[in-house]
Every structure is written in C-alpha cells, then in structure tokens.
Structure 1
Amino acid sequence: MTKPPTRTTASLAAPDLSRRKLCAVAALAVATGVYSPGALAHGTRAGDLTIDHPYATPTPDGARTGAVYFRTLINRGKAADRLVGARTERAESAEIHRSVMEGDLMRMRAVDGIDIPPGAELKLRHAGDIHLMLLGLRSPLRDGQRFSLWLRFERAGEHEVTVWVQTPRDAPAHRH
C-alpha cells in the first residue's frame, strides 16, 4: 500500500505566494491606470464614440419585434457622427425608430439616423423616445441571452457590439 503524497512546507506556501503576486500585479495595474473598474463595463469604442451597455428587453413567445437600447452613446471627438443603421442575425432587419405623439396616440416612426454631436452623451434607454427596432425576430429574446449587433456610423464605420437581453431594473413588467 502506498502512502498518499504529503504537502511540504514549500508547497503549502506556493499558493499564498502566487496569490500575493497576483494581488501585487492587480494593484500595480490600478495604480498606473492600465486597469480601471470602468474597463470591465459592457460596451465598446468606435473611433471617438463610446457605445455603453447595449441591451434588449425580453420578448414573449411569438413576438416578431424586439428593441435594442443603449445606456449612452458618447461622442468624445471634435466632429459630429451619425448612427445610420444596424444589423443582426437575430432579426430580418433593424431600424432606427423614434416614438412621436400623434394626437392622443404614441406612434413609432423609422428615422434615417441619429445625430451624435461632438461632446454629446445620448441616452437611448427603454423609457426614452429613440431605439433600434428589430423586425422579423428569428426567435424570442430571453433574459440572460447575448447576441451580436453591427452598428453603422457615418464617420466611425461599422462596429460589432454585444447586446445583453435583460429585464430593466426600473421596469420589471416592461414589454416593448
């Protein structure tokens, strides 16, 4: 019968030493600005534009439409840009929509783009008037899913973002 290997004092200290090295590297990254808590935020850069937290709300079974929103679209540059289109494999097409009041009714209308002036921070949230409309959904959008969306800008070109499907915290019963 063989005796199971025992851990020596050196092998017991190794994990602690590795953990200390990892902590030191993380502290150095924060101190030098290589890492910041915002670096883990969900979003991407497209030239001078920051696309912050693209998300979609869940849809019921059989829904043929869905909507994509953004916490913010930020233009950090000196020139204006414009969101002119989008596409995704989750839907037959995507359109930029604006909600407008027509008499007593709120209607959505397709628009040809969204201007993003220099220095602007546009909020395109689920309670707002501008969003991307997904037409001809291939399957329902379920809480927790993620999918790719390609945004097309006049200046910044086309950029892929990851859309998170989630129920908004401030509107748990929200359905587009």
Structure 2
Amino acid sequence: MNLMTRISAPAAALLMLAGCNSGEPAPAPGAPTVTVADALCRPTPKGRQTTGCYMTLTASGDDRLVSVESPEAKYVQIHESRMESNMMMMQQMRDGMPLAAGQATALAPGANHLMMLGVEEPLVTGDTVTLKLTFATAAPVEVTARVAQPAVGEYDHVAAQ
C-alpha cells in the first residue's frame, strides 16, 4: 500500500463522519436520556393561534427541560398553572422544568404544559406536530405529537383551554 492510500483512507473516513454530524453537540458521557410518551397537542379553531401540548417525560438522571421549538409555531413556552387567590394562573417557566431521575413527569391540562404561540396554520384533529425538546444535559429529543382533544382521564387534570 502506498503512502497516499494509507493517508487517503483515514481522511475519507473522517470526512464521512463529519458529514454525519447533525450540528447538535454530543451529549456528555453518562448524560441522562429522556423518553417521551403520549405526546398530544390540542387542535386550534380557525383564527386561534395558541394551543396546549401535553406528554409524559421520564429522565434517566436529574435534568431540566429548558426549551421547546416547533416549525408549526413562532414560539413554544414551558408553562405552569397554579391556583392563586381562587383563580387559575398560568405563567412561563423561564428557568425550565426540572425532571427528577426515574420519575415520570406529566405535562397535562391544568398543570405544567407546553404552550404553542403564533401557530400559523390551524392544527386539525388527525394532524401531527413536530416538537424539539432541549434539556440541560440530555441530548435533544424530537417528538411527533398527535393533534387531538385529550380524553377525560387521559391526564391527571383536565381543564378547558
């Protein structure tokens, strides 16, 4: 094998690997992983540009959901709902939402949830929505959520939006 072949083969392999990079930083060795179940976003009636999304997140180690993006909305915020002075109040969780190791964390109507803002096209029952969840230490997770009304009892607390 000549010198050029010995240099070219490893160089070609490195170039192929570099082309596979998704642009996302690799998670740190031993970083938690997060699984997502039952992702659902409510349909949007004509003219409405906001809706809630719900799911269950389970992290293998302590972590934090820090942001969410979707091509179907200008913004996606992590919201908490709580009773204050006998009124349901909702506000953005600017520091994200903690995820305890091994515990299922529900995002549900009337509780912590995702709020899609600036939805351009109506979301219709039967459609799907792409959500990219970013965590403090785990690798990002892309989720395909179904568009539907949550069934009564599907989540811990059901509240009209």
Looking at both structures, which has the greater relative contact order when contacts are Cα pairs under 8 Å and sequence separation is at least 6? 2
Q: In structure 2, what is the equivalent of residue 73 of structure 1?
A: 57
- Correspondent of 1:170 among 135, 149, 152: 152
Alignment of 1:112-151 (within 5 A): 112-126=95-109, 128-151=110-133
RMSD (CA atoms): 2.0
Q: 2:107–2:114: 8 Å Cα contact kept in structure 1?
A: no
Q: How far 1:57 moved relative to its partner?
A: 1.1
Contiguous gaps of at least 5 residues in structure 2: 1-30
Check the 8 A contact 1:89/1:148 in 2, yes or no: yes
Tell me the SS of whatever aligns to 1:157.
coil
Q: Which runs of 5+ in 1 are unaligned?
A: 1-45
The match for 1:54 is 39
TM-score with structure 2 setting the length: 0.71
TM-score normalised by structure 1 residue count:
0.66
| Conserved? CA contact 2:34–2:141, under 8 Å | no
- Counterpart secondary structure, 2:140: strand
Q: How many residues align?
A: 126
Q: Is the 8 A contact 1:59 1:175 kept in 2?
A: no
Does residue 100 of the first structure (1) align with residue 85 of the second (2)?
Answer: no
Query: 1: distance between equivalents of 2:39 and 2:151?
Result: 15
Equivalences for residues 18-97 of structure 1 within 5 A? 48-70=33-55, 72-75=56-59, 77=60, 79-97=61-79
Q: Which has the higher helix share?
A: 1
Separation of aligned partners in 1, 2:103 and 2:116: 25
Q: Which has the larger radius of gyration?
A: 1
